Amino acid sequence: MRDLHVSDIIAAVRQAAITANYVIGPDLLAAFRRGLAEEESASGREIFRQLIDNARIAETECVPLCQDCGLTVIFAEVGQEVHIVGGDFEAALQEGVRQGYQEGYLRKSVCHPLTRTNTGDNTPAVIHTEIVPGDRLKLWVVPKGGGSENMSRLFMLKPAQGWEGIKEAVVGTVREAGPNACPPYIVGVGIGGNFERAALLAKKSLLRELGSQNPDPDLAAREEELLKAINDLGIGPQGLGGRLTALGVHILLQPCHIASLPVAVNIQCHSSRHREVEL
Amino acid sequence: MSKEVRLTPPLTAADVCALEIGDRVLVSGVIYTARDAAHRRLMDLLAAGQPLPVDLQGQILYYVGPSPARPGRVIGAAGPTTATRMDVYTPTLLRLGLKAMIGKGRRSPEVIAALKEYQAVYLGATGGAGALISQCIRQAEVVAFEDLGPEAIHRLVVEDLPTIVINDCAGRDLYDEGLRRYARTA
Ligand code: SF4
């Protein structure tokens, strides 16, 4: 067993929440640069220019990339040889979020769903924990904006609808999102599992490096097919019309019940923020 | 052909009627912020027959809920929020003389019709460019509903805030126009 003190976990989450909101990943920046070179529409190219500037200003001037600093999602992979000491694991994750949003001047965007009263510290974060082999703790801190989460959808298709049904669900979700969820998008698709698993797969697929190939060649080809169909919609950057509505489509898949075909589509806006830390 | 225009409120009907979808508009001067909660409060005041905390005649509303300002800074990130959520309140405010709104995302057919009727425009700012837009904001102060925090009505002084005309006084829609130009049907 390896001891891991909660104070280290708190510090790591605090820092990851702040960095995620101020610094975009190199994969995303590269996609913006490609977009600037490839987009046919002049207003679309202007948007890519602005997004590249925005990333630079955020980092150098210490202003968050987007004022919607999101509801924080944390994926945790806990090695089964890790022994957490000094307090509760989940409480430590929440404390890290609380401190990060306070000290990082990040907007607190979490409220009671009925009274709409703000919780004041951006908690509770949504936490997904998996126990895995080994003696390390891996955390992904993922601030997710409301605008793009609102346009995400879950479909319980009939098995007979097959791939065509999945394709229509994915493309239809993007069509409906239109200009509203800050395109260019990254589209996370979860196929299979069950009702709640499909949604989780869709969200988790967004953690994959943008521009990387799906390790499964069949899924890689299907991602290409979906990306082309989405970009044929013509929505374009910010919905002003253009070739690049999405920068990537990511699929995660697992077996499902013989009677079902669950499909979830998680729309990720261009402000795709996530930080990975290993302790 | 789209053009570039500089605008400073208060705006007249002639100012906004000269704008067409796709025109780039650099906004300077005083604008007011409002999101969902502030809109609801404005409606409550109107329903109670009370005066509004700001005179909207000729003004611009910006749909934004900024992140907190660091000490010594004017404001935090300040990009637009989705305008669609404000649609139900908008025709009422246009009737009171509001001349432009800045946001992101589609407006309802009712709003587009009201823009035509009252001669006003809807401008799009780049969603998710909160850091970039913050650099255009020179002053910020809360003028109403302080208890709403980031949702309070702020009076902003801006300089060359970059926007594009999405819906003009002629009832046109840049989002639809974009689809017409770029959609490929299988
Ligand atoms: S959808 Fe994304 S980029 Fe747009 S405002 Fe929300 S968090 Fe920011």
Residue A69 included in any domain = yes
Residues A151 and A139 in one domain: no
Determine the pLDDT at residue B148.
87
Amino acid at A152: S
Whether the per-residue pLDDT at B64 is higher than 90: the answer is: yes
Amino acid at A197: R
Q: What is the 3-state secondary structure (H, E, C) of B27-93?
A: EEEEEEECCHHHHHHHHHHHHCCCCCCCCCCCCEEECCCCCCCCCCCCCCCCCCCEHHHHCCCHHHH
- Portion 132-161 of B in contact with A at CB < 8 A: 132, 134-135, 149-150
Structural domain ending residue among the three candidates A100, A122, A144 = A144
Cβ–Cβ pairs < 8 A, chains A and B: 161
Q: State the CB neighbour count (10 A cutoff) for residue B146.
A: 10
Band the pLDDT of B186: cuts 50, 70, 90. low
pTM for this predicted structure: 0.94
Cα dihedral angle (B100, B101, B105, B108), rounded to 10 degrees?
-70
∠ at Cα B128 (A242, A110), nearest 5°? 135
Residues A16 and A134 in one domain: yes
Residues A111 and A122 in one domain: yes
How many structural domains are present in chain A? 2
Distance from CA of A51 to the nearest CA of B (A): 6
Residues A118 and A204 in one domain: no
B71 touches chain A (CB under 8 A): no
Residue A201 included in any domain = yes
What are the tens digits of pLDDT across the range A50-80?
999 999 999 999 999 999 999 999 999 999 9
Residue A188 included in any domain = yes
Mean pLDDT to the nearest integer, B30-55: 95
Residues A107 and A198 in one domain: no
Question: Least CA distance to A242: which residue of chain B?
Answer: B182
Structural domain ending residue among the three candidates A144, A173, A208 = A144
ipTM confidence score:
0.93
| Torsion sign (Cα): A146, A111, B107, B32 | negative
Determine the pLDDT at residue B166.
98
Secondary structure class of A275 (helix, strand, coil): strand
Mean pLDDT to the nearest integer, B110-118: 97
Residues A138 and A191 in one domain: no
- Portion 232-251 of A in contact with B at CB < 8 A: 232-236, 238-243
Structural domain ending residue among the three candidates A124, A144, A164 = A144
Mean pLDDT to the nearest integer, B35-56: 94
Determine the pLDDT at residue A23.
97
Distance from CA of A146 to the nearest CA of B (A): 10
Residues of chain B in contact with residue A233, where contact means CB-CB under 8 angstroms, are 179, 183
Mean pLDDT to the nearest integer, B123-133: 97
Residues with CB under 6 A from ligand 1: A 66, 68, 145, 147-148, 181-182, 269, 271; B 79, 127-128
Residue A39 included in any domain = no
Residue A51 included in any domain = no
| Nearest-angstrom CA–CA distance, A161 and A263 | 11
Band the pLDDT of B149: cuts 50, 70, 90. confident
**Candidates B32, B38, B39, B134; catalytic one:** B39
- Portion 31-70 of A in contact with B at CB < 8 A: 40-41, 43, 47, 50-51, 53-55, 57-58, 61-69
Residue A157's domain comprises 147-271
pLDDT tens, per residue, chain A with 279 residues: 899 999 999 999 999 999 999 999 999 999 999 999 999 999 999 999 999 999 999 999 999 999 999 999 999 999 999 999 999 999 999 999 999 999 999 999 999 999 988 999 999 999 999 999 999 999 999 999 999 999 999 999 999 999 999 999 999 999 999 999 999 999 999 999 999 999 999 999 999 999 999 999 999 999 999 999 999 999 999 999 999 999 999 999 999 999 999 999 999 999 999 999 999
Residues A84 and A128 in one domain: yes
B40 touches chain A (CB under 8 A): no
Secondary structure class of B139 (helix, strand, coil): strand
A56: CA distance to ligand 1 center in Å? 17
φ and ψ of A234, to 5 deg: 85, 10
Adjacent-strand bridge partners of A144:
A71
- The structure tokens 């700012």 sit at B125
Contact A232 B66 (CB under 8 A): no
Q: Classify the phi-psi angles of B120: left when phi > 0, otherwise alpha if psi is within -120 to 50, otherwise beta.
A: beta
A270: CA distance to ligand 1 center in Å? 8
Residues A218 and A99 in one domain: no
Residue A28 included in any domain = no
A269: CA distance to ligand 1 center in Å? 6
Distances from the Cα of B111 to the Cαs of A188, A243, B21, B87, B120, in angstroms?
32, 28, 15, 6, 10
Which residue from B82, B135, B174 is facing A180, i.e. has the nearest CB? B82
Distance from CA of A128 to the nearest CA of B (A): 26
Residues A198 and A228 in one domain: yes
Residue A250 included in any domain = yes
| Nearest-angstrom CA–CA distance, B159 and B109 | 31
Task: Please report the domains of chain B, with CATH numbers, ordered by start residue.
Answer: 4-182 (3.20.130.10)
Distance from CA of B70 to the nearest CA of A (A): 6
Report yes or no: A65 and B77 within 8 Å, Cβ to Cβ.
Answer: yes
Contact B130 A65 (CB under 8 A): yes
Determine the pLDDT at residue B1.
66
Q: State the CB neighbour count (10 A cutoff) for residue A97.
A: 28
Residues A216 and A130 in one domain: no
Q: State the CB neighbour count (10 A cutoff) for residue B148.
A: 19
Residues A155 and A259 in one domain: yes
Mean pLDDT rounded to a whole number for chain B: 95
Residue A279 included in any domain = no
Residues A11 and A113 in one domain: yes
* Of B109, B111, B85, residue with least CA distance to B98: B111
Q: Active site includes B154?
A: no
